[in-house]
Amino acid sequence: MFQKLKGFTRAFWTANIVELLERGAYYGVFIVITLYLSRILGFSDVEAALISGVFSGGLYLLPTFTGALADKIGFKYSLVIAFALLTIGYFGLGILPTILEAIGLVDYSNGIEFTGLLESVQRWAIAPIMLVIMIGGSFIKSVITGTVAKETTEANRAAGFSIFYMMVNIGAFSGKTIVKPLRVAMGDMGLIYLNYFSAGMTLLALIMIIFFYKSAKHQGEGKTLNEIWIALVKVLTNGRLITLILIITGFWMVQHQLYATMPKYVLRMAGEDASPSWYANVNPLTVVLTVTLVTRLMASKTPLFSMTVGMFIMPFSAIAMASGNWFAKGNIDLGFIEMHPIALMMIAGIVLQGLAESFISPRFLQFFSLQAPKGEEAMYLGFSHLHSFISSILGFGLSGYLLDAYCPDPQKFANHEAWQAAAANAHYIWYVFAGIALVSAVSLVVYGKVVRYLDENKAPGLPADAELAREAG
């Protein structure tokens, strides 16, 4: 084991360690980003959701383009730029409330009292700060994965990516875990100081890159931005791929509610003692525990079959999240712990989400590549995450409107009874997402049948993709 680990270069280990730090920084902030925007800066549920959605969407769209830039200027310079921007951005999220308080727009000394912030355009200073984080973060995925690929051989590449995947999940887990202790110790002010934690993590990563990172990846390689734009146009005009992307968008719209809806919903419905950041950790834990078993179980099945199974699990995930409202008031005694029914059923829903992801994610890229023109699979796969860009904007945006309609901010109401009346049907939010998941699942079945029919009925003399269709589903 240790001999295998010794086979990796210093650049490989440096890249993986900074990936762990970056993921910890990102997920610590992102799991509560809508809470930060609403509770600290006074944005409405709708505004907070739209800001978060654009931010998340940009992080999925930009890496293909920043990856091309990284190929031109070199991986080390790209990582220096990335972590410098991230450090500035996270520090900005921390210092912005202090600046707003200093100019008299808000008072954090005794709770949170808005004294002009809600009417001021100055709170929109958050936009350029999040843009800085978005641009910095967009470099990370392409450069780190590129480093892992370049710094490994055929013999140890599988092990290298396994280590990378482990670092991603350890970072995500640790980042989400730190949120609860900060909120317990500092209340909502912990949402501010959390950003300094993230800035410290990315600053440490920046120092490591400067002193320890030396990659075999040289500058001047890779595709031009013009070539990438041409590839994007090709993907957008490919009917099969666009249809597939739109269908899978439904799955990810529901999946994104782990960050968009869940934190506010749980805190409002189950109380401030709830731990949404810890509940969110159930998702990667479930994926890690089930993905190998599911992959083996589905080994003899087509990618489309595996994806369809996962898609039909998703409606039950949303129904489970809604069912917390079906129980009588009061905690449920599990023997080793008592939990609010809202929190308990939210965890059950998150487990089902993770299980669905194990069926879908490992096979999606395989299926996506089979729908690309022969010889252009790699180019097309660069845009395989377009569904996450679309679903971030739509999923977060819809979340904001649904929260405002069915589970509004208690601060808007004169008393608790008035809020209870307004939030009596809060669980309807999850019925909406259950419907989206069900429509997506049925659409995927129809898609598979149509693709197979078209391929099996091509005119003689045309390139036959029937074999690909059979492989795909």
More confident residue, 456 or 296: 296
Minimum mean pLDDT range among 30-34, 39-43, 269-273, 460-464: 460-464
Tell me, yes or no, whether 179 and 290 share the same domain.
Answer: no
- Whether residue 462 has pLDDT greater than 60: no
123 lies in some domain:
yes
275 lies in some domain:
yes
Tell me, yes or no, whether 53 and 18 share the same domain.
Answer: yes
pLDDT tens digit sequence for 17-48: 999 999 999 999 999 999 999 999 999 999 99
- Whether residue 380 has pLDDT greater than 80: no
- Whether residue 472 has pLDDT greater than 80: no
What is the predicted pLDDT for the residue at 219?
54
Tell me the mean pLDDT in the region 458-465. Answer: 49
What is the predicted pLDDT for the residue at 1?
39
CATH number of the domain bearing residue 430: 1.20.1250.20
315 lies in some domain:
yes
Minimum mean pLDDT range among 14-23, 280-289, 424-433: 280-289
Which one of 222, 240, 273 terminates a domain? 222
Domains identified in the chain, total number: 2
- Whether residue 439 has pLDDT greater than 80: yes
What is the predicted pLDDT for the residue at 470?
46
Tell me, yes or no, whether 215 and 239 share the same domain.
Answer: no
3 lies in some domain:
no
Tokens 């990582």 belong to which residue?
Answer: 79
pLDDT tens digit sequence for 93-128: 999 999 999 999 999 988 899 999 999 999 999 999
What is the predicted pLDDT for the residue at 384?
74
Mean pLDDT, all residues of the chain: 87
Tell me, yes or no, whether 278 and 162 share the same domain.
Answer: no
Tell me, yes or no, whether 473 and 453 share the same domain.
Answer: yes
Tell me, yes or no, whether 292 and 148 share the same domain.
Answer: no
What is the predicted pLDDT for the residue at 373?
67
What is the predicted pLDDT for the residue at 471?
46
Tell me, yes or no, whether 107 and 47 share the same domain.
Answer: yes
Which one of 176, 195, 222 terminates a domain? 222
Minimum mean pLDDT range among 91-100, 135-144, 387-396, 418-427: 135-144
Tell me, yes or no, whether 152 and 263 share the same domain.
Answer: no
2 lies in some domain:
no
- Print the SS3 string covering the chain: CHHHHHCCCHHHHHHHHHHHHHHHHHHHHHCCHHHHHHHHCCCCHHHHHHHHHHHHHHHHHCHHHHHHHHHHHCHHHHHHHHHHHHHHHHHHHHHHHHHHHHCCCEECCCCCEECCHHHCHHHHHHHHHHHHHHHHHHHHHHHHHHHHHHCCCCCCHHHHHHHHHHHHHHHHHHHHHCHHHHHHHHHHHHHHHHHHHHHHHHHHHHHHHHHHCCCCCCCCCCCCHHHHHHHHHHHHCCHHHHHHHHHHHHHHHHHCHHHHCHHHHHHHHHCCCCCHHHHHCHHHHHHHHHHHHHHHHCCCCCHHHHHHHHHHHHHHHHHHHHHHHHCCCCCEECCCCEECHHHHHHHHHHHHHHHHHHHHHHHHHHHHHHHCCCCCHHHHHCCCCHHHHHHHHHHHHHHHHHHHHHCCCHHHCCCHHHHHHHCCCCCHHHHHHHHHHHHHHHHHHHHHHHHHHHHHCCCCCCCCCHHHHHHHC
Tell me, yes or no, whether 461 and 332 share the same domain.
Answer: yes
What is the predicted pLDDT for the residue at 266?
96
The band of 220, judged by pLDDT with boundaries at 50, 70 and 90, is low
214 lies in some domain:
yes
The band of 371, judged by pLDDT with boundaries at 50, 70 and 90, is low
More confident residue, 32 or 7: 32
The reply to whether the predicted model has a pTM over 0.95 is no
What is the predicted pLDDT for the residue at 226?
76
Tell me, yes or no, whether 98 and 116 share the same domain.
Answer: yes
Minimum mean pLDDT range among 79-88, 285-294, 443-452: 285-294
Which one of 164, 194, 222 terminates a domain? 222
86 lies in some domain:
yes
What is the predicted pLDDT for the residue at 469?
46
- Whether residue 344 has pLDDT greater than 60: yes
Tell me, yes or no, whether 237 and 213 share the same domain.
Answer: no
Percentage of residues in the chain having pLDDT higher than 70: 90
108 lies in some domain:
yes
Tell me, yes or no, whether 257 and 213 share the same domain.
Answer: no
Quote the domain boundaries for residue 445: 230-473
